[in-house]
Amino acid sequence: MSDPIINALTTFTEEEQLFASSVREFAEAEIKPYVREMDAAGKMRPEIISKAFELGLMGIEVPDEYGGSGGTFFMACIAIEELARVDASVSVCVDVNNTLVANAFLNYGTEAQRKKYLQMLSTNTVGAYALSEAASGSDAFALQTKAEDKGDHYLLNGRKLWITNGNEAGIFIVFATLDPSKGYKGITAFVVEKDFPGFSVGHKEDKLGIRASSTTELILEDCKVPKDCVLGEVGKGYKIAIETLNEGRIGIGAQMIGLARGAYECALAYTKERKQFGQALSEFQGVQFQLAEMAVKVEAARLMVYNAARLKDAKQPFIKQAAMAKLFSSEVAEEVASLAVNLYGGYGYVKDYPVEKYYRDCKIGQIYEGTSNMQKQTIAKLVLAE
């Protein structure tokens, strides 16, 4: 299972294979020794983030001219998967930087914004994507954060919740409404730097899983934002939010197949080593059937995620496939991680062994960047329109 080349659809190019191997080596050598420590502390080691920048993992799709790696969306998904196989917290940090923040600048930024912010995002500055609020989760456009046009600048007031990378980020894409009476058509996306007056990072959530990834509140109190920090068009923030999250869901799918792979590989190895009744667990037919189910589900989820990523790179319609991949892979991750805990028995329930963490980490996949119910709604709408 360590080699991701498994069939015709998922065959990697030589460049992709070398890239996957390099990310896997980084994850095994420089992340794995600290996974348990970071989970317990609820904090990511800064040197791991620095190394991710050094390896070009924070701006994979960003063109060379803006300081990035000049890769593809599919390569970003490879990195997210390989990192999640070892630690989902590091994976989601890289995921958000690539599939949400950098992609938003690539698709909607002005040339000046791209030159400034993509260079930062690729080389030394973590990004965050601030859409959610206390009253706007799945109903994302019920947001209450307000923006006022003050002539030569905007003033933003409000609070954002559940913002990934909140503590580490230096660049935030913040969604606020200039005219609540216009509904979603009043929403605008703003680029907010951490040192802008009136901006601060608030409470950090104490989470079930992905604990080393910071999830925070953002506080905007008369936050002064320059006019040239509007991302895209005024009043078109909803378009940026929807289209960026459509791409981001494939990244979450990649994270979930990485988690599922990690849990499966641990369970497979453990059942070969653990003996009961005079033989290895893997020699019992019932256990073999469970391992077979896990392998089938991991491969099926990978096929769906890879297909959505390839469609996106080919500039083909991918929204339905992205929603399907995110929905299915998040369900598979939970099922596989749960089976892994079962196969470990009592050892699976304690923190000395890795599978309890995979089980905790995977649950968020059914919640963030669109809950499973929202994915089903999207899929139903699209299939009914066919």
Enumerate the active-site residues. 369
Handedness of CA 275, 278, 279, 284 (dihedral sign): negative
Handedness of CA 43, 46, 4, 2 (dihedral sign): negative
Give me the amino acid identity at 79.
A
Per the structure block, which two tokens stand in for 329?
């892979």
Q: Is 278 helix (H, G, I), strand (E, B) or coil?
A: coil
Longest CA–CA span in the chain (Å) reads: 79
Of the candidates 42, 98, 47, 59, the residue with the CA atom closest to the CA atom of residue 254: 98
Give me the amino acid identity at 303.
L
How far apart are the C-alpha atoms of 306 and 62, rounded to whole Å?
Answer: 20
Of the candidates 18, 123, 148, the residue with the CA atom closest to the CA atom of residue 66: 123
Residue 351 per-residue DSSP state: T
